[in-house]
Structure 1
Amino acid sequence: MKIIVEANIPYMRGLLEPFGTVDYLPADAITADAVKPANALFVRTRTHCNRSLLDGSNVEFIATATIGTDHIDLDYCQSAGIDIYNAPGCNAPAVAQYVFATIGRFLSGRSPEGIAIGVVGVGNVGSIVARWGERLGMHVLRCDPPRQKREQSATFVALEAIAREAEIITFHTPLTKTGENPTWHLADENFLNKLGTCRLLLNSARGGVVDNGALSRFLDRSQMKAAIDCWENEPNINRELLDKTFVATPHIAGYSAEGKARATAMALAGFERHFGVTIPNKPIVSAPPKGADINSIEEVIASYNPLIDTACLKASPSTFELQRNNYKLRHETSNTQC
């Protein structure tokens, strides 16, 4: 068996060698020629798994060590008989940590109690953000049209209500361009112009959820602050928007040691299921996958400072990918002694 592993996926080396030949390649080296003899791929978001990469290859299995699959052409893979595995929720506690560490720096000593926070997308990440917000005494507004339709619950509100009422808005949706509730450019010029009391907008979901050009123009005429971890056109990000942000990071909100270990373990579990094998010594994570219950925003602030990463990115935006690939994994709030 021929296996290709994206070289920046941690905790992988030495685990798959009993099952075949393993090549560890940087993302830009995972080309159609490299992939052609491979039976299995382990990738991240930088590898676009589509017809141009996979056509004529031996690939039957792809695992992405990420929560999302928008870099994978699922329709093509289904038609080609390629099984896809991802790692939903693997980094959810780390992203929640990023959100509240940013909120804590923004509040600068002010209590979060009573502040209205709009959580757009209440899945694995958004559920933790909402739960932590309530523990801190915040007024949590949840927006998730697909869940609202499924559950017929009155706990959800419309996006327009969040635009009107929330002082802090944070996005946690997948990126979709079709269907009943597309999320591409969910925060566009029209949405931004409807903002009433918003003082901080965060995007740690997918770059295309927020129209980066529209946000940059809006910040020119607004006192609102923006915290952006996921950008359009990564790694060639909007430099004008970068200069205007309060927090700007190179797509590392979910980069915790625990989250990475969960993602790798989930990808390897997919390999086991597909090929009917058992991999010894898979990563084991003791931290709770749904995040610990925080007691104060101070403990989150103590666990991570996003302003340090912001200074690095603003000083050298051309090294976005280098900073992301060489990021020193932090520990989640639940695994940090404060």
Structure 2
Amino acid sequence: MKVLLATSKPFALPAVQGIQHIIESAGHKFVKLEKYENESQLLDAVKDVDALIIRSDIVNKEIMEAAPNLKIIVRAGAGYDNVDLEAATNCGICVMNTPGQNANAVAELVFGMMIYAQRNHFDGSVGRELTRRRLGLYAFGNVAKMVAKIARGFDMPVYAFSPTLTHDDLRKEGEYGVITAYTNKELFGNSDFVSLHMPLLEETRYCVDYSLLSLMPQDGLLINTARKELVVEDDLIRIMEERPAFQYVTDVKPDKHEEFLEKFPRRYFATPKKLGAQTTDANKNAGLAAANQIVAYFQNGDERFRVNL
């Protein structure tokens, strides 16, 4: 089988070497396309491949139809909205992600940005501590669980609400020490900080609006390491205009980035690009997991991490 690693933003070299070793040790051919600049390059590269490993690269219907041998796509990372799942199903292609591999990296970034915000961007002015501030986790997947574990070290009460997990599921997560919020309104109403961790789905698109944000304290903090489309930006701007101490930090630059920056330079921060998984550790973990999943798929049909029908 021919396996293509296609990354416009390449993995670190040790990760690429590890992926290649796993693929070739299993008897498959390994090829790579790195730092490509347009879709036509990817269209040409997929013509004769059986498997594809990507990062945030867009894989649409046209690309799939250009790859008649393609059987599996693995998105090295948790989110997979960059892959057209319906088209993949129609083409008979299995799509997987690598859940949990980037979780610690993203969780550490959450706390880095929280401290940065509460210490006023380290500008020398008097800031605030995290200890005993109430933290709300909107969704409770792998990243949120790591955030909850780290929060225990800061002595932060942690509330969690999940649109997909039942209340019994949340109550069973005793090792994380979370307090179950039974509605999203209860979560926002009981949290000084809210950290967003849900995937982008039709039911989660623009789910964080004025009605929810208005339940937070005057000096609340919203942290977004998930997707920019979860937040109604005009509503967040309105809240920050009404509340001179409200803050927003994110590693998914909003569409209205320049407006946020102009109006709230000391209460808003966005990373230059999505940085949640940008550590050498997470980079390698996700890449190696993707390679191992492809090998298992071809060896014994393992579809454990399949995300499409």
TM score, norm. by length of structure 1? 0.71
User: 2:257 maps to which residue?
Assistant: 238
Q: Secondary structure at the match of 1:208?
A: helix
Q: AA paired with 1:172?
A: H
> Residues 23 and 91 (structure 1 numbering): CA distance in 2 closer, same or farther, change over 3 Å?
closer
Q: Secondary structure at the match of 1:131?
A: helix
Aligned residues of 1:185 and 1:208 also touching (Cα < 8 A)? yes
Cα distance in 2 for partners of 1:254, 1:139 equals 26
Give 1:1-338 correspondences, 5 Å limit: 1-7=1-7, 8-10=10-12, 11-13=15-17, 14-15=20-21, 16=23, 19-20=28-29, 22-26=31-35, 28-30=37-39, 31-45=42-56, 47-57=57-67, 58-108=69-119, 110-149=128-167, 151=169, 153=171, 155-157=179-181, 158-177=183-202, 182-223=203-244, 224-232=246-254, 238-243=257-262, 244=264, 246-249=268-271, 250-276=273-299
Q: Secondary structure at the match of 2:160?
A: strand
Unpaired segments of 5 or more residues in structure 1? 278-338
Aligned residues of 2:3 and 2:51 also touching (Cα < 8 A)? yes
Cα distance in 1 for partners of 2:99, 2:293 equals 12
The alpha carbon displacement at 1:3 in A equals: 3.4
Q: Secondary structure at the match of 1:146?
A: coil
User: 2:306 maps to which residue?
Assistant: none
> Residues 149 and 165 (structure 1 numbering): CA distance in 2 closer, same or farther, change over 3 Å?
closer
Aligned residues of 1:168 and 1:198 also touching (Cα < 8 A)? no
Cα distance in 1 for partners of 2:100, 2:147 equals 13
Cα distance in 2 for partners of 1:43, 1:265 equals 12
Q: AA paired with 1:143?
A: F
The alpha carbon displacement at 1:193 in A equals: 3.5
The alpha carbon displacement at 1:264 in A equals: 0.7
* Structure 1 stretches of 4+ moved >6 Å: none
More deviation in 71-80 or 83-92? Answer: 71-80
Aligned length: 269
TM score, norm. by length of structure 2? 0.77
Structure 1 residues 222-255: Cα deviation after superposition (integer angstroms, max 9, x where no partner) = 221110112356xxx7322344353211110221
Cα distance in 1 for partners of 2:5, 2:293 equals 14
Cα distance in 2 for partners of 1:114, 1:21 equals 50
Cα distance in 1 for partners of 2:289, 2:52 equals 14
Q: Secondary structure at the match of 1:160?
A: helix
> Residues 133 and 189 (structure 1 numbering): CA distance in 2 closer, same or farther, change over 3 Å?
same
Cα distance in 2 for partners of 1:89, 1:61 equals 20
Unpaired segments of 5 or more residues in structure 2? 120-126, 173-178, 301-309
Q: Secondary structure at the match of 2:165?
A: helix
Cα distance in 2 for partners of 1:3, 1:29 equals 20
The alpha carbon displacement at 1:79 in A equals: 2.7
Cα distance in 2 for partners of 1:56, 1:6 equals 15
More deviation in 64-73 or 47-56? Answer: 47-56
> Residues 42 and 273 (structure 1 numbering): CA distance in 2 closer, same or farther, change over 3 Å?
same
Aligned residues of 1:213 and 1:241 also touching (Cα < 8 A)? no
The alpha carbon displacement at 1:55 in A equals: 1.5
How well do the aligned residues superpose, as a CA RMSD in angstroms? Answer: 2.6
Aligned residues of 1:163 and 1:198 also touching (Cα < 8 A)? no
> Residues 159 and 198 (structure 1 numbering): CA distance in 2 closer, same or farther, change over 3 Å?
farther
